[in-house]
Amino acid sequence: MSSTSKRIAAAALAVTLALSLSTCSNWSKRDRNTAIGAGAGAIGGSVLTHGSGLGTIGGAAVGGIIGHQVD
């Protein structure tokens, strides 16, 4: 990657992150826990299954359910 494309990618990532965080500001605690659980589950499922799509989706589903149930 060239230096210019790295800068563009970093800027796009920063804008996406800022927009994503601002849309979550009015979520309930349960909604945030569900999203965090789904994200953590997706990462865990992907790592445990060496990048399998099914493992990632399964991990996200299980993590989302667990996150939804946590108070």
User: Does residue 20 sit in helix, strand or coil?
Assistant: helix
The pLDDT of residue 59 is above 70: yes
Q: List pLDDT tens digits, range 42-55.
A: 999 999 999 888 99
Share of the chain above pLDDT 90, in %: 42
Q: Which residue has the higher pLDDT, 23 or 32?
A: 32
Tokens of 30: 């349960």
Q: What is the pLDDT of residue 60?
A: 92
Total residues belonging to the chain: 71
